[in-house]
Structure 1
Amino acid sequence: MPQRYIKKILDARVYDVAVESPITHARILSRRFNNTILLKREDLQPVFSFKLRGAYNKIRQLSEEEKERGVISASAGNHAQGVALAAHRLGIKATIVMPQTTPEIKVNSVRGHGAKVVLKGDAFDEASAYAQELVAKKGLTYIPPYDDEEVIAGQGTVAMEMLWQHTQPLHAVFIPVGGGGLIAGMAAYIKYLRPEVKVIGVEPEDSNCLQAALKAGKRVVLDEVGIFADGVAVRQIGKHPWEICRSCVDEVITVTTDEICAAIKDVFDDTRSIAEPAGALAVAGIKKYAQREAIEGVNLIGVISGANMNFDRLRYVSERTEIGEEREAILAVTIPERPGSFKMFIKALHKRNITEFNYRYSDQQDARIFVGVQIQAGGLGREELVKELNDTGYTVLDLTDNDVAKQHIRHMVGGHAPAVVNERVFQFEFPERPGALMKFLMSLGTRWNISMFHYRNHGAAYSRVLMGAQVEDDELEEFQGMLARIGFRYEEMTDDPAYRLFLGN
């Protein structure tokens, strides 16, 4: 099956719109991991993503009748821009259905390429369903983002370029995975010409549809997907990509949000370019693989798949980078509430740098501080730090892996509220668009008192809120029914240790 894609890839005419992207030597990363790490720079395409290749290859092969009717696609970002530019170059009318949560930078980019934008729904599934309605109603030709042979062949030209650019021995190629179009096209070509080269997919831990499929031996549908790396937030690997991936992909590595943020910084350090979260997946995978396998002196290539990053997301990325590199430990420490305690605690750190320090008076006996402490890369010294503090007599809770602490608590540390009783805490996700926060607040009604609220806009399609409400035990079922009617995804966090230490009673 994969072999029949080779001719399609060789025949793909993508260079009417795409450029032959360079391979950049990541010198800093290479020195750090004692391997030659190379980056295939698909972020340098005219739409800052590889998606242009597959979209153009598909559209140019349509019949004259199909071109005359116009094309349509559903996408939250990179595929939309690829379809818009490809259609513009070929003189074809294009309609792109995008979720209402799509960042303005991407909407404006699609419009800038001459396409008509229709905003529909809060997520891709709703936008996709509406696109299919328009296909049926207006006879438009649908351009799939990944589950199509011609799209896969277009993406496969990335591997064709890579192998003629790099003729030296190659240990492994790392490829980000969403719906699977890129890794399928590249894997088919690589395994045909260089079967000894490992093809390794990289996915976020919370969007691992290919890893789940390989484990099950068949395509599976994830219950839900993470929202940070929106470019690969796909619940099921495509049918056509799966036919290739099940036999041509050697393994899939998953990475955390913090590791993705650290990889974005790594790409910036070596290239002075900013990859989007999905675009930095390959680098995060290379780092994890090199550490796991303890390999040295080999050539590793990662695909930087896109750079459509909202500027206001950089604050969040920067915040999480040190933890992603495992250079920072986040701790909750209980110290005596008396003069001189801070000074004694600083001495107990033995000249380690403090990255963050939050405190507010709570009671006369104990003070609880939220502190970030710099440690060695790779998490070295974290256990030693906790042990030293424990041995000195401090009660320490390691919050480095606690998502609520990193998302909310570090920005909210302000002490307990003794007057607040029956407080229950929930973390919500809701679509980020104008008026969404107001709609969320208005939906809560007035029956239950809101005792705590924290919201931050990270420039993503979805935002998170941490909320406390005073709910009597016998009212809990009714309160949860109200939350269900609102329809936002939520999780109760009343027993979260970070909340209970710094904010709860």
Structure 2
Amino acid sequence: MAQPTPLNPQPTHPTDSEYLRKILLAPIYDLAKVTPLQPMKKLSERLGCDVVLKREDMQPVHSFKLRGAYNKLLSLTNEQRARGVVAASAGNHAQGLAMSAAKLGVNATIVMPTTTPDIKVDAVRRLGGNVVQVGDNFDAASAESRRLAAEQGMTLVPPFDDVEVITGQGTCGMEMLQQSQKLNAVFLPVGGGGLAAGVAVYLRQLRPDIKLIGVEAEDSACLAEAWKHGKPSDLSNVGLFADGVAVKRIGEETFRLCYQHLDDVITVSTDEICAAIKDAFDDMRAISEPAGALSIAGLKKYAQQNDVAGLQLGAILSGANLNFHTLRYVSERTELGEGKEAVLAVTIPERKGSFRQFCETLQGRAITEFNYRFADNASANIFVGVRVEDESARLALITELEDKGYATHDLTNNELAKLHIRYMVGGHPHRSIPEKLLGFEFPEHPGALLKFLNTLGEQWNITLFHYRNHGAAYGRVFAGFEVPETDNDAFHGFLEQVGYEYHDETNNPAYTAFLK
């Protein structure tokens, strides 16, 4: 998207030159590390340019958040330190603050949602933080942190929207410029905007020729939303796969700086993030968390859409704190993110040898998945995954199958198919059912599924149900309900009363092909 007219800085904000001075003098290096800027040789060869990666996963807490948290604590008076500090965080900011507080002998209370994975809660406690778990989401934890700050006189340490925090994160850009004078573009991951704001305000003053591009997950693009309106705006909801950037509203000061200094902001999908995690592993043997691979995904998307031959493109591996179970989901989605798997629903004749004949039609292409169950004597719907080179090869395959008489639906970008249907193929009811199909999301924690089922109650007959837990902060359920036409209004009233986030999948072609 095009660069908008910059906002005028308010008098209460530091000027750009003041930020530059603060970043240059930030006294964080007795705890934070100067992390390396390393070449990604395999990705560079594939994209036809020079890709370098800033390894913030090598910080003591495996995230850049240590820079801002430590700088903030160093800026406090002795009296403020004596009263202690408090913050709300679901992970990386919490660990950075806990380590910083332990270094300075400051009491730190971290308010975390009850949905926070144990690996992050345990890490904060090991670093000496006092963990208080409140609510199912960050907003509830944030409200509690503000209450504790007001009640007990502790200093609130925001995760991103704070001058000293932004300054600390800006040291990452200072190091990148010291490590390479050849940078042509830098891709900056955006959640609340602290890292992007700090790096951008520094690089823009010293190297205005470097293109600065913000990268967001498409299901939590709070900067892109604010960019449209010219001011921070709330998202109605956020996706939580890249939980480190799952922010509903960008900060006021971080937005001001991003709005002034970024050239563009682009968004990437979950599958593109998963593919970027694999790129980091292939090149560096580094395992990134989803938010940590965001800027790699954005860099790849930019390179595919623009001429980058001979340019040096920089990305930041911003964090590596993830649940091990998440890797199972990442692995499943990686080939889709790379555009190397086609997911198709294909109708084949129900006769002996039809599967072999279909495989012959693929002309040696590798089948990654094949799901089938007998439905009737005339035809069968199969769910098939096929390895392809790229998007054009996938489209060519579909055309080829249709030319040979196979009715084919492309499900490659169908979330329902990828999350649920591929694990459920073959279950047709024995009678016609007036069925409503819905996808639900709810905060994931021990007992969450039972709570979800209890909330649904027994008012409606459940005809289909699928749930998978892959270490994410939110659980996803695909469920069918028997709803006669005359009960539609009552059913919609019931859904509103239940209160869970949901979306109607009744007419989704993946459901129609395999389960209806």
| Residue 475 of structure 1, CA deviation | 2.1
Equivalent position amino acid for 1:57 in 2: N
2:203 is the counterpart of 1:184: no
> What SS does the aligned partner of 2:386 have?
strand
- Asked if the contact 1:420–1:470 (Cα under 8 Å) also holds between the matched residues in 2, the reply is no
> What SS does the aligned partner of 2:16 have?
coil
- Asked if the contact 1:329–1:373 (Cα under 8 Å) also holds between the matched residues in 2, the reply is yes
2:322 is the counterpart of 1:309: yes
1:397 is aligned to 409
Aligned positions, number = 502
Distance 1:131 1:112 in 2: 20
2:60 is the counterpart of 1:46: yes
Cα offsets for 1:437-459 (capped at 9, x unmatched): 01111111112211111000010
2:470 is the counterpart of 1:438: no
| Residue 419 of structure 1, CA deviation | 2.5
1:107 is aligned to 121
| Residue 245 of structure 1, CA deviation | 1.1
1:90 is aligned to 104
Give the structure-2-normalised TM-score. Answer: 0.96
Cα offsets for 1:198-240 (capped at 9, x unmatched): 1111101111111222233222222211111111111222111
2:370 is the counterpart of 1:357: yes
2:388 is aligned to 375
1:56 is aligned to 70
Equivalent position amino acid for 2:496 in 1: A
Equivalent position amino acid for 1:429 in 2: E
1:218 is aligned to 231
Query: Of residues 460, 475, 484 in structure 2, which corresponds to 1:448?
Result: 460
> What SS does the aligned partner of 1:414 have?
coil
2:476 is aligned to 464
Distance 1:421 1:275 in 2: 45
| Residue 63 of structure 1, CA deviation | 1.2
Distance 2:374 2:402 in 1: 22
| Residue 474 of structure 1, CA deviation | 2.2
Stretch deviating more after TM superposition (232-241 or 275-284): 232-241
What 5-or-longer segments of structure 1 have no aligned partner? none
Equivalent position amino acid for 2:149 in 1: V
Query: Of residues 161, 170, 173 in structure 2, which corresponds to 1:147?
Result: 161
Q: What does 1:242-321 correspond to in 2, within 5 Å?
A: 242-321=255-334
Equivalent position amino acid for 1:123 in 2: N
Distance 1:54 1:295 in 2: 32
- Asked if the contact 1:330–1:370 (Cα under 8 Å) also holds between the matched residues in 2, the reply is yes
2:188 is the counterpart of 1:161: no
Distance 1:135 1:245 in 2: 28
Query: Of residues 356, 364, 389 in structure 2, which corresponds to 1:343?
Result: 356
2:5 is aligned to none
2:502 is aligned to 490
Give the structure-1-normalised TM-score. Answer: 0.98
Equivalent position amino acid for 1:481 in 2: G
| Residue 83 of structure 1, CA deviation | 0.7
Distance 2:135 2:490 in 1: 28
Distance 2:217 2:310 in 1: 27
| Residue 476 of structure 1, CA deviation | 2.5
Distance 1:161 1:83 in 2: 21
> What SS does the aligned partner of 1:355 have?
strand
2:24 is aligned to 10
Query: Of residues 185, 210, 221 in structure 2, which corresponds to 1:197?
Result: 210
1:229 is aligned to 242
2:493 is the counterpart of 1:481: yes
- Asked if the contact 1:97–1:131 (Cα under 8 Å) also holds between the matched residues in 2, the reply is yes
Distance 2:228 2:340 in 1: 32
Distance 1:315 1:192 in 2: 42
- Asked if the contact 1:361–1:415 (Cα under 8 Å) also holds between the matched residues in 2, the reply is no
Query: Of residues 251, 264, 268 in structure 2, which corresponds to 1:238?
Result: 251
- Asked if the contact 1:362–1:415 (Cα under 8 Å) also holds between the matched residues in 2, the reply is no
Equivalent position amino acid for 2:105 in 1: G
Cα offsets for 1:263-282 (capped at 9, x unmatched): 00000000101101110011
Distance 2:402 2:21 in 1: 64
CA RMSD of aligned residues (A): 1.0
1:69 is aligned to 83
> What SS does the aligned partner of 1:311 have?
coil
2:221 is the counterpart of 1:208: yes
Distance 1:406 1:392 in 2: 26
| Residue 157 of structure 1, CA deviation | 0.3
Deviating above 3 A after TM superposition, structure 1's stretches of 4 or more consecutive aligned residues are none
2:399 is the counterpart of 1:387: yes
> What SS does the aligned partner of 1:404 have?
helix
Distance 1:474 1:45 in 2: 60
2:185 is the counterpart of 1:172: yes
> What SS does the aligned partner of 2:255 have?
helix
Distance 1:450 1:276 in 2: 36
Distance 1:420 1:120 in 2: 45
| Residue 255 of structure 1, CA deviation | 0.5
Equivalent position amino acid for 1:426 in 2: L
Distance 2:396 2:377 in 1: 30
| Residue 420 of structure 1, CA deviation | 5.3
Distance 2:402 2:487 in 1: 41
Query: Of residues 124, 134, 138 in structure 2, which corresponds to 1:120?
Result: 134
| Residue 356 of structure 1, CA deviation | 0.5
Equivalent position amino acid for 1:216 in 2: H
Stretch deviating more after TM superposition (389-398 or 132-141): 132-141
| Residue 294 of structure 1, CA deviation | 2.5
Query: Of residues 329, 344, 367 in structure 2, which corresponds to 1:331?
Result: 344
Equivalent position amino acid for 1:198 in 2: K
Distance 2:408 2:260 in 1: 48
Distance 1:237 1:270 in 2: 32
Q: Could you tell me the percent identity over the aligned residues?
A: 56
- Asked if the contact 1:209–1:237 (Cα under 8 Å) also holds between the matched residues in 2, the reply is yes
> What SS does the aligned partner of 1:474 have?
helix
- Asked if the contact 1:172–1:301 (Cα under 8 Å) also holds between the matched residues in 2, the reply is yes
> What SS does the aligned partner of 2:408 have?
strand
| Residue 60 of structure 1, CA deviation | 1.3
What 5-or-longer segments of structure 2 have no aligned partner? 1-14
Stretch deviating more after TM superposition (46-55 or 469-478): 469-478
Distance 1:218 1:444 in 2: 39
